[in-house]
Structure 1
Amino acid sequence: MMAALAKAISRATRTSVDVETLKVLVIFAGAGLLLSLVAAMIYQQAANAALW
């Protein structure tokens, strides 16, 4: 699946995209998403505590 995704990105951008590079990008994007969700959950709890 990663190879097919790398091929599709390479065709779309007309640049060479390596599967390993794609894996690193997916890992960092996933970590960023996880941190964003955790921050949103913490902020929601703080906002609820301030309102009540």
Structure 2
Amino acid sequence: MMPALVKALSCTTGRDIDVEGLKTILIFCGTGLLLSVVAAMTYGLNLAADVF
């Protein structure tokens, strides 16, 4: 899956893309998306009262 994505990005941009660099970028983007979703789900909840 990853080599196909790298090949497609390389063809569309015309630049050589490194697989490891792309993995790092995808991990950071995924982490940010996960934190955003968790923050949106807990918006308005008083988590301190629920825990204790």
- Using structure 2 for the length normalisation, give the TM-score: 0.77
Gaps of 5+ in 1: 48-52
Instruction: Quote the offset at 1:15 in angstroms.
Output: 1.0
Measure, in 2, the Cα distance between the counterparts of 1:33 and 1:19: 21
- What secondary structure, in the 3-state scheme, does the structure 1 residue paired with 2:17 have? coil
1:42 is aligned to 2:42: yes
Measure, in 1, the Cα distance between the counterparts of 2:37 and 2:15: 32
Identity of aligned residues (%): 58
Aligned to 2:5: 5
- Using structure 1 for the length normalisation, give the TM-score: 0.77
Gaps of 5+ in 2: 46-52
Letter of the 1:40 partner, please give it.
Answer: A
Cα-Cα RMSD: 1.2
Could you list the runs of 4 or more consecutive aligned residues of structure 1 that deviate by over 2 angstroms after TM superposition?
A: none
